[in-house]
């Protein structure tokens, strides 16, 4: 157990202290030039070299390939949507039909949130941010409220589905909760979170948002590839039908990716090069590390230390563990934490509620700090000097948004559970 503990601590230290960049797996530890993927790979290797796991078990049992295949399939589909300029076109049409600064703020939250509910939030942020910035420049609006609207909206909206963000993908595959039940349970909390996000931003920035009509922004209409966009739309329908019908998330996503590779009339190699393979390696390494920690009993030991503080009833357990999730997600990132906590879920009074509340808390906690979510980092780095905001300034806004949106979402989730809606 000691060897596993040392390797686990080493890996988590690299993941936690790596300077974040615009990728879920990116970041560098100064002085060592070790990034998060390296930490995960070295941790997995350490578990094998210390004989915590034999190589065959590490490759054959530890890695959850369903999650990796789901992530891969969704990234391929997103690559084709980017190629067809679907994200840019939707953003363009939305921004061109707003009439005031306040309407624009609400529209940005809604677009970022709804797109993130269907697709991966990181990609949505990458595509939406440049258009929002251009609109702010044309209308002479302060960019900060609208950049935060992209961050907070994307995080809140991605709560709704197992495909909205990486941690939800892990929970969706490991929990066995059907896609339809997941959406039924978290669709409402995601929606109310978006409403709270929009209201909070309107209040927090009420002095900075000018009144009166906005000048029409001088945005260049993206050249939408209509044929490819239509094919993507068909594939998304097939995808959602498969998800709601209860078919495997991973293989349904691969089916959608395969259809686009076959019928998309694009060079597959060029589109496949847009897949973030480093992120897949990062996830694979984490799976091995957490599996090894569970095998030696370390994960169970950690839970036994935590359990007395959580009570025995579903409500205090889900609320207190949710707070614990939010804090740990800031320190070690939400993906490794969700993986570690996955072995604890059957031990709670209401495992299904805990799976869902963990997905909600881990995601909404991303709005608390700059480093709480990759979506935040992508937006602010894409914005350049317009995205410059200090840690504590972000926390000032993110703290209010996170507290109110999480409380509202949790109340609705628990009400749904009490009424037997899932």
pLDDT band, residue 212 (cuts 50/70/90): confident
Check residue 35 and report its DSSP letter.
E
Q: How many Cα atoms within 13 Å fall on the side-chain side of residue 399? A: 6
Mean pLDDT of 386-394: 85
pLDDT score at 17 = 61
266 contact partners, CB below 8 Å, separation of at least 6: 80, 83, 228
| pLDDT in the model for residue 51 | 87
pLDDT at position 201 over 90: yes
pLDDT at 106 over 70: yes
pTM: 0.87
What is the rounded average pLDDT of the residues 376-382?
85
Q: Of 33-42, 86-95, 145-154, 357-366, which gets the smallest average pLDDT?
A: 33-42
pLDDT higher than 60, residue 278 = yes
Alpha carbons 304 and 302: distance in angstroms, whole number: 5
DSSP H or E segment with residue 321: helix 314-332
User: Is the predicted pLDDT of residue 130 greater than 70, yes or no?
Assistant: yes
pLDDT at 16: 62
Q: Which long-range contacts (CB under 8 A, 24 or more apart) does 210-218 make?
A: 210/101, 210/141, 211/100, 211/101, 212/100, 213/99, 213/100, 214/98, 214/99, 214/100, 214/101, 214/104, 214/139, 214/141, 215/138, 215/139, 216/96, 217/95, 217/96, 217/134, 217/135, 217/138, 217/139, 218/138
Q: Which residue has the higher pLDDT, 60 or 241?
A: 241
Mean pLDDT of 158-169: 93
CA-angle at 136, arms to 132 and 142, nearest 5°: 120
How would residue 248 be classed by pLDDT, with cut points 50, 70 and 90?
very high
CA 83 – CA 78 distance, rounded (Å)? 8
Q: What percent of the chain has pLDDT over 70?
A: 93
Please give the structure tokens belonging to residue 9: 């601590």
- Residue 195 binned pLDDT confidence (cut-offs 50, 70, 90): very high
15-58 residue pLDDT tens: 666 655 555 555 555 555 667 788 888 888 888 888 888 999 98
Residue 346 per-residue DSSP state? G
pLDDT, mean over the chain = 87
Read off the pLDDT of each residue in 303-331 and give the average, rounded to a whole number.
Answer: 88
The residue-averaged pLDDT of 161-183 equals 93
Q: How confident is the model at residue 340 (pLDDT cuts 50, 70, 90)?
A: confident
In the chain, where the domains are located: 1-62+277-297
The secondary structure of residue 388, as a DSSP letter, is -
């Amino acid at each position: 157990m000691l060897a596993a503990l040392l390797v686990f601590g080493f890996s988590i230290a690299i993941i936690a202290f790596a300077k974040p960049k615009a990728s879920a797996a990116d970041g560098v530890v100064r002085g060592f030039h070790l990034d998060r993927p390296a930490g995960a790979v070295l941790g997995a290797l350490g578990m094998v070299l210390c004989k915590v796991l034999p190589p065959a078990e590490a490759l054959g049992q530890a890695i959850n390939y369903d999650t990796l295949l789901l992530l891969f399939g969704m990234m391929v589909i997103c690559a084709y949507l980017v190629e067809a300029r679907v994200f840019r076109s939707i953003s363009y049409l939305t921004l061109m039909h707003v009439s005031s600064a306040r309407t624009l703020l609400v529209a940005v939250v809604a677009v970022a949130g709804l797109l993130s509910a269907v697709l991966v939030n990181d990609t949505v942020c990458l595509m939406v941010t440049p258009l929002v910035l251009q609109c702010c420049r044309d209308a002479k609006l302060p960019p900060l409220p609208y950049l935060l609207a992209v961050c907070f909206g994307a995080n809140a909206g991605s709560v709704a589905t197992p495909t909205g963000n990486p941690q939800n993908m892990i929970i969706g595959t490991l929990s066995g909760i059907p896609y339809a039940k997941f959406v039924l349970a978290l669709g409402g909390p995601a929606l109310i979170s978006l409403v709270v996000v929009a209201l909070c931003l309107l209040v927090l920035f009420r002095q900075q948002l000018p009144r009166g009509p906005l000048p029409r922004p001088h945005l260049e209409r993206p050249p939408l590839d209509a044929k490819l966009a239509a094919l993507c739309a068909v594939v998304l329908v097939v995808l959602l039908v498969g998800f709601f019908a209860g078919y495997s998330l991973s293989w349904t996503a691969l089916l959608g990716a395969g259809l686009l590779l076959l019928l998309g009339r694009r060079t597959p190699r060029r589109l496949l090069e847009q897949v973030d393979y480093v992120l897949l390696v990062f996830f694979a390494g984490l799976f091995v590390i957490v599996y090894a920690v569970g095998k030696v009993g370390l994960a169970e030991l950690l839970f036994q230390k935590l359990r007395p503080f959580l009570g025995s009833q579903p409500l205090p357990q889900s609320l207190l563990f949710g707070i614990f999730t939010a804090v740990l997600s800031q320190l070690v990132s939400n993906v490794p934490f969700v993986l570690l906590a996955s072995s604890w879920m059957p031990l709670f009074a209401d495992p299904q509620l805990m799976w869902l509340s963990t997905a909600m808390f881990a995601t909404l906690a991303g709005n608390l700090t700059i480093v709480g979510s990759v979506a935040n980092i992508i937006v602010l780095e894409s914005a350049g000097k317009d995205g410059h905001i200090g840690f504590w300034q972000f926390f000032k806004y993110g703290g209010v948004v996170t507290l109110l949106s999480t409380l509202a979402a949790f109340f609705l989730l628990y009400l749904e559970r009490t009424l037997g809606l899932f």
